[in-house]
Copies of this chain bind each other. A is one copy, B any other.
């Protein structure tokens, strides 16, 4: 969930700090005079959330039982298209798996296809691995474990399933692991490798909170071979997902009509956002339907000016020309963004 961009080598006991979007609390302190309410465009979370179904008190007052997990995982299996030979494991957000993977499947040499969501490299580095952030698929080949974020955050770079499966096949031959973080794949399911998750080298991560606009529920999934999935399930232990997340997730993942509609709305909004940003002099450098990556020589000044007007975007320390914009969620947010982009000279 969320996103970061600090690539770090580290050792056990000195965990690297990763910057994330969604830090309205920090923004409020830095820009106390910004108009209220803040328009938070700093994440890739769908602002048109899945309508929260009524949640029975019992989901809080009882321990979630195996049947509740089974129902959720059935809905996820169908929604993501998991093949018969794969299993699917629910956890408290994609991040929970990113934290867990280096501990459960330790590796000494790890490669991450960058520039990308920084938590992958950070968590592997914290486990004591030597982590290389590489630029090409070929450069993944020597690692014991490799990470690909597809589509990539923040630039939206897409790899074809065939490229990923070729890399998985090479990994397989030497018992390695290929993690494919598909946190932003829900609106382009035809490009997912979830349907190949029975491959012994593959672990596919899926996020619930971003697409469904409910990141506070804390829900994510790992798809993998039965053997790897059993190891992950044992490492998470019982009751790794809250009662409300189990109930809401099972409803939402069964609702194909909502997802189809959400994909259309997000695509429309993404195009509208591109037009606004282009008009203000930004170059659209990429993104997915849930966020757009915009480049500008004065991106840092734009960040500050937008923040002073109560619009929070995502800047990247390592990429000073970039700003990432999530989708505005309502008419007021669109107006505030448009005004903020017009009212200042970005030059």
**Chain A contact residues, CB within 8 Å of chain B:** 1-2, 13, 15, 18, 20-26, 40, 43, 45, 49, 52, 57-67, 92-93, 95-96, 98-99, 103, 119, 123, 126, 209, 213-218, 230-231, 234-245, 248
Contacts and interface: CB of A to CB of B under 8 A. Distances in A.
A237 B119 contact: yes
A240 B238 CA distance: 15
- Most B C-beta atoms less than 10 A away, residue of A64, A119, A216, A218: A216
Contacts of A95: 237-239
- Most B C-beta atoms less than 10 A away, residue of A2, A237, A238: A237
B60 A217 contact: yes
A49 to B, nearest CB: 5
A236 B64 CA distance: 21
B24 A126 contact: no
Nearest to A93: B239
B217 A243 contact: yes
A49 B45 contact: no
Given A1-B239, A2-B239, A67 B245 contact: no
Contact of A237 (B43, B49, B123, B230): B123
Nearest to A13: B231
A150 B65 CA distance: 26
